[in-house]
Structure 1
Amino acid sequence: MTYIIKPANHHPNLERNELGLTRRDYEGTISTLCAGCGHDSISAAVIEACYQLSLSSDQIAKLSGIGCSSKSPSYFLNQAHGFNSVHGRMPSVATGANLGNQDLLYMGVSGDGDTAGIGIGQFMHAARRQLNITYIVENNGTYGLTKGQFSATNDQGAKSKYGEENLFAPIDLPTMAIQLGAGFVGRSFSGDKDQLVPLLKAAMQFKGFSLIDIISPCVTFNNHVGSTKSYDHIREHNESVSSLDFVPIGEEIKASYKEGSKIDVPLHDGAIITLEKLSKKYNPLDKGKAIQGLNEAEKDGKVLTGLLYINPKVKDHAEILNIANTPLNQFKEADLCPGKSKLAQINASLN
Structure 2
Amino acid sequence: MSYLKPDFRHPELPTNDLGYTKKNYEGAISTLCAGCGHDSISAAIVQAIFEMSIEPHKIAKLSGIGCSSKTPTYFLGNSHGFNSVHGRMPSVATGANMANRDLIYVGVSGDGDSASIGMGQFSHAVRRNLNMMYIVMNNGCYGLTKGQDSATSDVGSYSKKGEPNPFEAIDLASVALQLGATFVGRSFSGDKAQMVPLIKAAISHPGFAFIDIISPCVTFNNNPGSTKGYEHVRDHLAATGTVDFVPMRQEISTAYPDRTSQEVTLHDGSVIHLSKMDQQLDVRNRNSALNRIAAYKAEGKILTGLLYMDPDSSDLHDSLDTTKKPLREMDEQELCPGSKVLNNINDSLR
TM over 0.5: yes
Question: Displacement of 1:129 after TM fit?
Answer: 0.5
Question: Displacement of 1:318 after TM fit?
Answer: 1.1
Match of 2:53 in 1: 54
Please tell me the residue identity of whatever aligns with 2:327. Answer: L
Map 1:78-93; keep pairs closer than 5 Å. Answer: 78-93=77-92
Identity across the alignment (%): 56
Residues 162 and 322 of structure 1, relative CA distance in 2, 3 Å threshold? same
Match of 2:28 in 1: 29
Map 1:266-285; keep pairs closer than 5 Å. Answer: 266-285=265-284
Please tell me the residue identity of whatever aligns with 1:65. Answer: G
Match of 1:169 in 2: 168
Match of 2:145 in 1: 146
Residues 217 and 254 of structure 1, relative CA distance in 2, 3 Å threshold? farther
Q: Which moved more, 1:314-323 or 1:255-264?
A: 255-264
Q: Which runs of 5+ in 1 are unaligned?
A: none
1:188–1:215 CA contact under 8 A, matched in 2:
yes
Question: Displacement of 1:304 after TM fit?
Answer: 0.4
Question: Displacement of 1:10 after TM fit?
Answer: 1.6
Distance, in Å, in 1 between the alignment partners of 2:39 and 2:346 is 56
Match of 1:159 in 2: 158
Question: Displacement of 1:299 after TM fit?
Answer: 1.2
Question: Displacement of 1:257 after TM fit?
Answer: 4.3
Please tell me the residue identity of whatever aligns with 1:173. Answer: L
Map 1:252-267; keep pairs closer than 5 Å. Answer: 252-253=251-252, 257=256, 261-267=260-266
Question: Displacement of 1:269 after TM fit?
Answer: 1.4
Question: Displacement of 1:8 after TM fit?
Answer: 2.7
Question: Displacement of 1:336 after TM fit?
Answer: 2.0
Question: Displacement of 1:267 after TM fit?
Answer: 1.1
Q: Which moved more, 1:63-72 or 1:275-284?
A: 275-284
Please tell me the residue identity of whatever aligns with 2:112. Answer: G
Q: Which runs of 5+ in 2 are unaligned?
A: none
Match of 1:309 in 2: 308
Distance, in Å, in 1 between the alignment partners of 2:54 and 2:229 is 33
Residues 347 and 233 of structure 1, relative CA distance in 2, 3 Å threshold? closer
Question: What is the root-mean-square deviation of aligned Cα atoms in Å?
Answer: 1.7
Distance, in Å, in 2 between the alignment partners of 1:20 and 1:282 is 39
Residues 138 and 255 of structure 1, relative CA distance in 2, 3 Å threshold? farther
User: What SS class does the counterpart of residue 33 from structure 1 fall into?
Assistant: coil
Distance, in Å, in 2 between the alignment partners of 1:312 and 1:272 is 10
Match of 1:230 in 2: 229
Residues 109 and 348 of structure 1, relative CA distance in 2, 3 Å threshold? closer
1:184–1:209 CA contact under 8 A, matched in 2:
yes
> Deviations along 1:204-262, whole A, 9 cap, x unmatched?
11010000000000100111110000111111100001211000012113665478611
Match of 1:287 in 2: 286
Please tell me the residue identity of whatever aligns with 1:250. Answer: R
1:3–1:29 CA contact under 8 A, matched in 2:
no
Distance, in Å, in 2 between the alignment partners of 1:67 and 1:229 is 17
Distance, in Å, in 2 between the alignment partners of 1:120 and 1:344 is 38
Question: Displacement of 1:347 after TM fit?
Answer: 6.0
Question: Displacement of 1:5 after TM fit?
Answer: 3.2
Distance, in Å, in 2 between the alignment partners of 1:255 and 1:192 is 23
> Deviations along 1:147-190, whole A, 9 cap, x unmatched?
01000001000000110110000000010101111000000000
1:260–1:278 CA contact under 8 A, matched in 2:
no
Residues 252 and 3 of structure 1, relative CA distance in 2, 3 Å threshold? farther
Residues 3 and 106 of structure 1, relative CA distance in 2, 3 Å threshold? farther
Residues 328 and 159 of structure 1, relative CA distance in 2, 3 Å threshold? same
1:3–1:30 CA contact under 8 A, matched in 2:
no
Question: Displacement of 1:7 after TM fit?
Answer: 2.5
Residues 68 and 350 of structure 1, relative CA distance in 2, 3 Å threshold? closer
Residues 206 and 21 of structure 1, relative CA distance in 2, 3 Å threshold? same
Match of 2:9 in 1: 10
Match of 2:217 in 1: 218
- Give the TM-score taking structure 2 as reference length: 0.96
Match of 1:38 in 2: 37
> Deviations along 1:260-315, whole A, 9 cap, x unmatched?
61111011211111110112111111111110111111111100000001111121
Distance, in Å, in 1 between the alignment partners of 2:111 and 2:159 is 16
Distance, in Å, in 2 between the alignment partners of 1:195 and 1:304 is 12
Distance, in Å, in 2 between the alignment partners of 1:210 and 1:318 is 15
1:138–1:214 CA contact under 8 A, matched in 2:
yes
Distance, in Å, in 2 between the alignment partners of 1:276 and 1:150 is 36
Question: Displacement of 1:16 after TM fit?
Answer: 0.2
Question: Displacement of 1:69 after TM fit?
Answer: 0.2
Please tell me the residue identity of whatever aligns with 1:51. Answer: F
Tell me, yes or no, if structure 1 residue 102 matches structure 2 residue 97. Answer: no
Match of 1:20 in 2: 19
Match of 1:70 in 2: 69
Residues 119 and 162 of structure 1, relative CA distance in 2, 3 Å threshold? same
